[in-house]
Amino acid sequence: MRPESLAFLKRLLDAPGPSAFESAPARIWRAEAEKLTQDIGVDVSGNSWAALAGGGAHRIVLAGHMDEIGIMVSHVDEDGYLSFDTIGGWDSQVFVGQRVVLLAAGGTVSGVVGKKAIHLMEKDDREKVSKVEDLWIDIGAAGRKEALERVRIGDPGVLASSVLEMPNGRIVSRSLDNRIGSFVVLEALRLLHDEGGAAAPVTAVATTREEIASGGGGARPLAVRLDPTVAIVVDVTHATDYPGIDKRRHGEYRLGGGPVLSRGSSVNDRVFSMLAETADAEGIPYSIEAASRDTHTDAEWIFNAGRGIATALVSVPNRYMHSPNEMVALEDLERTARLLAAFARRIDDRSDFVPR
């Protein structure tokens, strides 16, 4: 990966941006996009976009959500301890013993997740699963008054971690799900920019609120605004190359194995076929993931937006999803960006996405 792209990726991943509070990474994303185009925008949902001009009958959107799972302060007790709720889906065991960063009005506030020490537990309690309601955040406050001078109810936060580079071109970080989607679509736009663009206009978008998207998050209103002919959603999928995973149930997806193309559900089969043909032509390895019911991504909301949009889902294998130490392979990010750019270059006025 280009050193400049890796530096941008690290800045993007380290910026805290839980669902509904994505402004920090969004600012970094738009600043990077300014190197490619002046056609940049942001809407009331916090969605950001960057567009390259083109002509023709089709409009292409490449979409990755930039929010991450997080926490939110829900109560402050008399001793200054904070109760919290989850933003997005968590395994509550992950919280035990973690440090947190809260996004308060006066700046970031550090804290630790507290739990009764094992020495003080009754025997039966030691065997129980920790629940969020049994945990708290300690910010070092002497009491409720001091705590409320530093935080307030509704302040969001994330678990404290930063990017770690590992051997074999792998990186570990929180927020890989799915800030790498927003990274990949902007990298695809960069490739198009550097290689002369595409016949059709191409817009990279960084959407919001996917992790809590009961009503479509930020993806649906942005899709209505941009009204694309075809959209490619970039997200993560579960890598299944570590111990204890039943590949017969969950499929076989490996770090370094290239992008994963979803088939079924909210995926337009003609777009899927064109992506597969493009990957074959470009020599990009890929896997196929069956989506018999839904994809649990922005693809659902974009596919059904407006009068309907020809949509596909391309995913990056991700180990240890929804934890502060997710892991992906950098080569999978590069291959996915290459695939999207090559796909965009294949679109012309003769392209037809209507199943016949």
Summarised one tens digit per residue, pLDDT across range 288-310 is 999 998 899 999 999 999 999 99
Residues 3-68+174-346, CATH architecture: 3-Layer(aba) Sandwich (3.40)
State the CATH architecture for 71-159: Beta Barrel (2.40)
CA distance 102 to 112: 10
Backbone angles phi, psi at 69, to 5 degrees: -70, 155
Alpha-carbon span 303 to 306, nearest angstrom = 9
Tell me what pLDDT residue 305 has: 93
Residue 335 has what pLDDT? Answer: 98
Residue 284 amino acid letter: I
pLDDT at 151: 98
Q: How is residue 63 written in tokens? A: 């979409």
Map 20-39 to HEC letters.
CCCHHHHHHHHHHHCCCCCC
Strands 164-166, 170-173: pairing kind = antiparallel
Condensed to tens digits (0 to 9), the pLDDT of residues 111-144 reads: 999 988 888 777 777 888 889 999 999 999 999 9
Tell me, yes or no, if 210 is annotated catalytic. yes
CATH 2.40.30.40 segments of the chain: 71-159
Entry pTM: 0.96
d(CA 222, CA 57): 20
User: Residue 119: its pLDDT value, please?
Assistant: 84
Candidates 260, 334, 328, 337; CA nearest to 299 is 260
Edge-first strand order for the sheet with 260-263 is 40-42, 48-52, 202-207, 60-65, 230-238, 310-318, 260-263, 287-290
From the candidates 22, 68, 187, 210, give the one annotated as an active-site residue. Answer: 210
265 token code pair: 């559900």
Q: What is the pLDDT of residue 121?
A: 77
Q: Could you say which residues of the chain have pLDDT below 50?
A: none
Considering the chain, tell me which residue range(s) the CATH 3.40.630.10 domain(s) occupy: 3-68+174-346
Q: How many CB atoms lie within 10 A of CB 24?
A: 17
